[in-house]
Structure 1
Amino acid sequence: MRFNLSKWLFILVFLPAWCMAVVIRPDAPEVYKVKKGDTLWDISAMYLTQPWLWPELWRNNSHISNPHLIYPGDELRLVINEQGEAELVLSRDSNDKPQKKLSPQGKLMDKASEPVSVLPWSVVEPFVKGAVVMSKEEFSALPRVITDYDDTVRYANEDLLVGEMADNTDSLLVLRQQSTIYDMQDNEVGVQIRNLASATLIPTESQDFSLVRLDKSRMETRAGDRLAPVSIMEQSDDIQLRSADSQRGHILGNLQEHHLMGRLDVVVVDLGHSEVTPGTVMGIYTQGPAIEDSKTGISEDSWLPAIFDNKETPRPPAIKSGDLVVFKTFERTSYALILNSSRIVRRGDIVGKP
């Protein structure tokens, strides 16, 4: 059954301005049962023309402490309250209550059920667990993998490796620099680092070298790769959707160094953790092409007219081409997932208020 928006049009006309921020899609379902595999973004986009305003649908529902925690089997019902505001009501079948399991001590405890993820986890997980951005100096300071006991240069699971002295911690990661990230002025803002493998530090009496055993390899390790504590990849998985406000930045590229990007691609933006947080939703805006001078046939972006004219180059207005959401932040950059795009996304596209 679909939600009859026209039935409530006369009410919406008289709503105060702040309520008009939430616009219900005309084809929004009146009732929807959450399924395994749904994401919070998918469900939000089913109801709202601006999915990042999802929490607004729950603003008057005191029974929902966290609108980002929705579980498979939950039934969502779209209603109009007495104030004429659209809101969602959630009902959870008693059979879907958390099951009981035995703890190691033999006590009964709740078996936690998994809420639907905010984003498609299969897409972002490799970047949450397997990639990080840091400065070149930070990476260079990490201890190196030197060799193994067979004096080879490529290593895999269960191999024992000799490295420079590493932090005194049981678990380590093996990292490799993949590429250098430049901002739109070609200034270096960090290096992309790939997590190659997990490793265990083997206790020894050496004061000069570390002995490590490779445990879980995603790619082969080589001499010269770096060792780091697992905490270097850790970041809170608490992603709550919120709209960007005054933040403005650019797409700098992606981990695969593709020039053309689109929906469900992970990109790097030039905004750090002091400017955005995981869950920040931003619009993607494409700048118009360079304007050609009709008299000379020379592009306004050409170096030639710049010799004779110091005026700022006129640019056509940028047009919105999609949305993205930040999911992992660093000092000067962040990873973001393109949620939708109507045009090809390229380096230099603007990100800002959606």
Structure 2
Amino acid sequence: MLVQKTLRHGALFALLLGSLAAGAAHAANGWERIRDDAPERYVVVRGDTLWDISARFLTSPWQWPTLWQANPQIQNPHRIYPGDTLVLRDCEGAPCFALETGQPVVKLSPRVRTIEPREAVAALPLEVVNVFLRQHRLQEAGRALNELGYVIGGENQRFISGAGDTLYVRGVLPADTPMGFYRPGEEYLSASGEPLGQELVYIGEARFISQQGDIARVEALSARQEVRNNDIVLPLDEPIEADFQPRAPLNDVAGHLIAAPGGVRFIGRLQVVALDLGTEDGLQPGHVLQVDQQGELISDPRSGELTQLPSTQGGLMMVFKPYSRMSYALVMQAANVLSIGDVVRSPERQR
């Protein structure tokens, strides 16, 4: 009887050890990255972003590329479209996502058969960042503003012009490229005070008319405010596209939130911020960074000494426009109001 009882306890102990080992292996294979409430299937709808979709499945949305099983039979295997179905699967013990491609809408008539064009799901809200990029651009440090084309005057010796007016610009302009009027804004500095670039603020749109020597004639098509002499004239930036995914930087980076363009006082979700990190630090579009906010300084109730509380995670942001030494990023999550000077760094990696 004693022997049977001992054997039974040993079997239960072995079963418990086996369960724990299986759980540890399950976690080691990446299942701990999956949210407890993650769906097994999800149909993509118009308006979704890759961030939204990955946040439905993953505890850390930037880990999406490590679990995404791109379909090699699709022309661009990294693109996801409204109507597609994402399926959470077990790939040899590790989680992965597979794609069931939705069919495009087909319109039938006696004479015409058309397929509606589909717009791929973007990593982040493109309308937010493209509006920002139209209104803000950067002249990087080391490139002088006096090298750019600038307004020298309007017709009839006007110093201030508006939509419909003709102006003269010193500089050789491209003839068939949409142009914009810009005015110097904030000068960006690193946390140590080193110049990183000069913000240029969009004033309005211009149309090239003619060029004679180094003087160009342009028409102001639109103006958010009056166009003044010495305003800068540049080709409009191309809007960014959807061809990047949220992911962590390959290398560990650390820097600071240095500005909130547009005079924003309270920085929260879907606000654009400027960082003192750029391509020289390894940043690319889609890289996700964690914001660390410094803990409060309090007085110890016994010793009276000032004590710095540990820093806390304040949010997550995604880089969408990196330059050589600074970047623009969009705040994707914010647990608290973010502030100029907050530390930004590579997100904590789950092993």
Matches within 5 A, 1:1-354: 13-15=24-26, 17=28, 19-20=29-30, 23-59=33-69, 62=72, 68-81=78-91, 83-94=92-103, 96=104, 112-135=117-140, 137-171=143-177, 172-204=179-211, 206-230=212-236, 233-234=237-238, 237=241, 238-244=243-249, 245-275=251-281, 276-290=283-297, 316-354=309-347
Q: 1:294 to 1:79 in 2, by over 3 A?
A: closer
Query: Following the alignment from structure 1 to structure 2, what is the Cα–Cα distance between the partners of residues 225 and 131?
Result: 14
Q: State the secondary structure of the residue aligned to 1:70.
A: coil
Distance (Å, rounded) in 2 between the aligned partners of 1:22 and 1:226: 52
Can you list the C-alpha shifts for 1:228-279, whole angstroms capped at 9, x where unaligned? 234xx24753322220231111000111233431111100000012220110
Give the deviation of 1:189 after TM superposition: 1.9
CA distance in 2, matches of 1:199, 1:315: 53
Q: Distance in 1 between matches of 2:136 and 2:232?
A: 14
Give the drift of 1:342.
0.8
Q: Find the aligned partners of 1:297 and 1:247 in 2 and give their Cα distance.
A: 36
CA–CA separation in structure 2 for the residues paired with 1:10 and 1:202: 74
- The letter of the residue matching 1:203 is S
Match of 1:214, SS? Answer: strand
TM-score (norm 2): 0.80
CA 1:66/1:324 → structure 2, altered by over 3 Å: closer, same or farther?
farther
Cα gap change, 1:30 to 1:293, in 2 (>3 Å): closer
Contact 1:68 1:118 in 2 (8 A): no
Q: Which amino acid aligns with 1:192?
A: E
Instruction: Write the letter of the residue equivalent to 2:52.
Output: D
Q: Distance in 1 between matches of 2:163 and 2:21?
A: 66
Decide whether aligned partners of structure 1 residues 155 and 319 sit closer, same or farther in structure 2, where only a CA change above 3 A counts. Answer: same
RMSD over equivalenced CA pairs, Å: 3.2
Q: Which has the larger radius of gyration?
A: 2
Q: How far is the alpha carbon of 1:133 from its aligned partner? A: 1.6
Taking the aligned partners of 1:130 and 1:340, their CA distance within structure 2 comes to 23
> Contact 2:106–2:115 (CA<8 Å) still a contact in 1?
yes
Q: Would the alpha carbon gap of residues 222 and 61 (structure 1) be closer, same or farther in structure 2, given more than 3 Å must change? A: same
In 1, Cα distance between equivalents of 2:301 and 2:191: 28
In structure 1, the residue matched to 2:15 is none
CA distance in 2, matches of 1:16, 1:298: 43
Aligned length: 321
For the residue of structure 1 that corresponds to 2:206, the secondary structure is strand
* Kept after mapping to 2: 8 A contact 1:22/1:50: no
Deviation at 1:184, TM superposition (A): 1.5
Which stretches in structure 1 are left out of the alignment for 5+ residues? 1-7, 101-107, 300-313
Q: Is the 8 A contact 1:12 1:84 kept in 2?
A: no
Inter-partner Cα distance in structure 2 for 1:116 and 1:190: 32
Instruction: Report % sequence identity.
Output: 32
State whether residues 259 and 347 of structure 1, in contact with CA within 8 Å, keep that contact through their aligned partners in structure 2: no
| Letter in structure 1 aligned against 2:341 | G
TM-score (norm 1): 0.79
Work out the CA distance in 2 between the residues paired with 1:160 and 1:228. 16
- Shift, 1:77, TM fit: 2.1
Aligned in 2, Cα 1:11/1:209: closer, same or farther, shift over 3 Å?
same
Please say if residues 257 and 273 of structure 2, whose CA atoms lie closer than 8 Å, have aligned partners that are also in contact.
yes
The worse-fitting range, judged by mean Cα deviation, of 60-69 and 191-200 is 60-69
